[in-house]
Every structure is written in structure tokens, then in C-alpha cells.
Structure 1
Amino acid sequence: MHAQIVLFDGFDPMDVVGPYEVLYAGGLTSGGAVSVELVSAEGPRTVVSGSGELAMTATATLDVEHADLIIVPGASGLFEPNADQPGSSLPERLAATTETELPVMMRRALDDPGVLVATVCGGSLALAMAGLLEGRRAVTHHLAVDALAAGGVIPIQARIVDDGDLITAGGVTSGLDLGLYLLERCLGPRISLEVEALFDYERRGTVWSAKGAEPVITFAPDAA
């Protein structure tokens, strides 16, 4: 399984590093069944995150034809626009991705049955802003659920939401849980469990999917 994690200007580093480390460890544990690289829509470049001057290097161009898994992170920044720093708020940074080639590339990914798309935190909101998730079930950071719904998405209150070829994770640290679930789904629970043991991390939350019995009484809001 070859995974590509997308970098864009203002991305959240933890959204990237969490799943990257998990998938990389999954590759080691499985004897090379997983490979992972950092990419951007523009090609190889240094990409500055939204956390100060911290930057990471995209070593290749996002390539739907050669990826089995594509992960889109969220952005880092304040929720409210700052007149002294235009374009630096989290919503502005996510919206800026819609002006790049990323939406076109991600549309191809979502239309390709051989590609699994995943997001961390505001990554689902970035795709929703581009009109790519209408009618899909997804999750994002709890502070952005209303914005996600405004994009035509059916928000689900869960740490991880499995909507078939789209898997979304909630806020920031859920990227670790996303990575472990992706290993379990794609390679099986034994590999995922070994990586959990390596990181001394116990996965959090129950993965939501539209499987099994439907509850007649619900306690989780919007758990459609």
C-alpha cells in the first residue's frame, strides 16, 4: 500500500506527523507492505506550516494513479481572521486550498475505486469547501462541525468515520487513531496492534460505519 500525505501552505504539522509515523512504522512491522511519502499539489517544494515557521518538504507531486491511500490534513491557525495577518486564520488557509489544483486531484481520487481517501481534522472541511463531500458522512474538529454541515456533509459524532472509500478523523491527535485504523483495515489487526505496542499508545474511540444494527435510541448527536 502506497500512501501520500498532502502538504499545503498553512497545514497542521501534527495532522501530518501522526499518520505518517504510524504508517511508516506499519511498513517496518509488515516487512515493507506500506510506503508513505509527503507530497503537494504543486510538486516537490518546501511547505511552511501554520505553526510558526515550521516547514516540511514535499518530495513529489500528488499522484492519484500511483497512490493507494491519500491523506489530507487540516490547517493550523486561529479561527477568527486577523486584520494584521490576512490569510492566516484556519478557515482562510483551508479555503485557499480550493484555489489550487488540489480539488481537481482529489476529485479524481474520490472517483477512483482503487484509491482510499482519508482526512485529519480540518482536512474534511477543505474537501467540503471544494464541494467534494456533498451527501457524504464525515467528521472534523468539534469546533468546525457546523461549517462541515454547511458544505452538504452529514456530520457524525465519532473519532473516526468510515464511509467506504472516505475515512475521516476528528481533531488533531485523532491522526494517530486514523493511522492505526488504516493499518487494521488494509493490513489486518495484527500489524496495527504491533504498532500500538511500539508507540505505547492505546487507540481511542469506536470507528463509526453504516454497518450492523441501527440503534432505535440514540445518545450521540447526529450519529446518523
Structure 2
Amino acid sequence: MLAQVVLFDGFDPLDAIGPYETLTAGGIHAELVTAEGPREVESGARLSLKATAALDPERPGIVLVPGAAGVAEDEIVPLLAAAAGTLAGPMEQALDTPGLTVATVCGGSLVLAMAGLIGGRTATTNHLGLRALESMGVNAVRARIVDDGDLVTAAGVTSGVDLGLYLVEREVGAQKALEVETLFAHERRGTAWRAA
């Protein structure tokens, strides 16, 4: 199984690296990608990471979209909007691909909502963005993880590790998730909301 972690200019590094490391430790191959292909990508925290491949929205597995980080809070919404413009087409394809789970951390769900891709779906984001998510037609739930089938979203920036553990448990098994939790000396917290 492949997990494609999508980088975009201004991404939040912890949103990307937390789940990347967790998924990798859980036996899921993870790769840093962009919509444009291999390149150096500067985060909103002024830390650069190198994407090694282009996003393949038709490849089964996991596609994970992080949120954005900015030096000032008013920088974040423009970064999310720019990402929504760049990722709208590929993420629409990803959401239509059988066997592919789209996951987000923090403002990643806002990227999908701004692109008009998750209206009517159930998702979460950082508590500061829940009203914005609702205003875009998303059923926003205040939970650590929201599992809406092929769309799994996580709340604030620190929930990325919990999201990774949740996906490891869902895709590989509870025993492997527990092993990673123990390895990382991390105890999952918060509610995991699931669609009925």
C-alpha cells in the first residue's frame, strides 16, 4: 500500500511529517508528492522538504493532504486557497478512485472544501476552522478523527500522529497500530467519529 503525502507551498510540516512517520512505522510505504511532480517545497514554517514524485490520484492507497502554516495567522487562508486551486482536479480524481482513501490533517479538509469537493460530507479540522468548514456545506464534527468512509480527517496539527495510527489500525490492524504507538511512546487521545 502507498500513502502519498501531498506537499504544497506553505504546507504545515508537522501535518505532513507526523502521519508520514507513523504510516511508515506501521508498514505503509509513504512518499512525499506534489501536484507538479518532484521539487523542493517550502512550508509555511520556512522549512523545505523535497517531494520525490507527482501525485497519482488514480493509485489505490492513501492520499493525505496537510494544512498550511504561516508566520502570521492571516497568511494561512490564502495558502489554503492557493492549495485548493492547485489540488482541485487531482483531488477530485482521488475522491473518485475506488480503493483510495483521502485523509487530511488540520486545514487539509478546508483545502478540499474550498475546492468544492466535500460538500455534504462529514469532516473535521482545527477547532478554529469548524465554522468555515460548515459554511462550505460540510457537516463539521468536533472530534479528533472523523471517518467518513473514503474520507478520513483529523483536527489540529498534533492529531496527525493519531490519524496515522488510526489509518494503520484500519489498513494493517490493531496489533501493528499498538506496536507503533508503543514505539513512539505516544498515547492516542480524543474521539474517533465514524459514519453510521
**TM-score of the superposed pair, with normalisation by structure 1:** 0.85
Structure 1 residues 58 and 67: CA distance shift in structure 2, 3 A: farther
Partner of 2:138: 153
Amino acid corresponding to residue 26 of structure 1 in structure 2: G
Superposed displacement of residue 69, structure 1: 0.4
Superposed displacement of residue 19, structure 1: 0.2
Q: Paired residue for 2:31, among 37, 58, 76?
A: 37
Superposed displacement of residue 206, structure 1: 2.1
Superposed displacement of residue 67, structure 1: 4.1
Alignment gaps of 5+ in structure 1: 28-33, 81-88, 212-224
Superposed displacement of residue 112, structure 1: 1.3
Partner of 1:85: none
8 Å CA contact 2:5–2:31 kept in 1: the answer is yes
**TM-score of the superposed pair, with normalisation by structure 2:** 0.97
Structure with max Cα Rg: 1
Partner of 2:64: 71
The equivalences for 1:102-117 within 5 A come to: 102-117=87-102
Structure 1 CA distance for aligned equivalents of residues 51 and 141 of structure 2: 31
**Which runs of structure 1 show a deviation greater than 3 angstroms over 4 or more consecutive aligned residues?**
none
SS at match of 2:58: helix
Cα RMSD, aligned residues only: 0.9
Comparing 192-201 with 142-151, which one deviates more in the overlay? Answer: 142-151
Structure 2 CA distance for aligned equivalents of residues 189 and 71 of structure 1: 21
Q: Paired residue for 1:95, among 71, 81, 84?
A: 81
Structure 2 CA distance for aligned equivalents of residues 175 and 46 of structure 1: 22
8 Å CA contact 2:58–2:93 kept in 1: the answer is no
Amino acid corresponding to residue 36 of structure 1 in structure 2: A
Partner of 2:162: 177
Structure 1 CA distance for aligned equivalents of residues 165 and 49 of structure 2: 23
Alignment gaps of 5+ in structure 2: none
8 Å CA contact 2:59–2:97 kept in 1: the answer is no
- The count of aligned residue pairs is 195
Structure 2 CA distance for aligned equivalents of residues 5 and 95 of structure 1: 18
Amino acid corresponding to residue 9 of structure 2 in structure 1: D
Indicate whether 1:129 and 2:123 are aligned: no
Comparing 173-182 with 149-158, which one deviates more in the overlay? Answer: 149-158
Structure 1 CA distance for aligned equivalents of residues 185 and 85 of structure 2: 40
SS at match of 2:73: coil
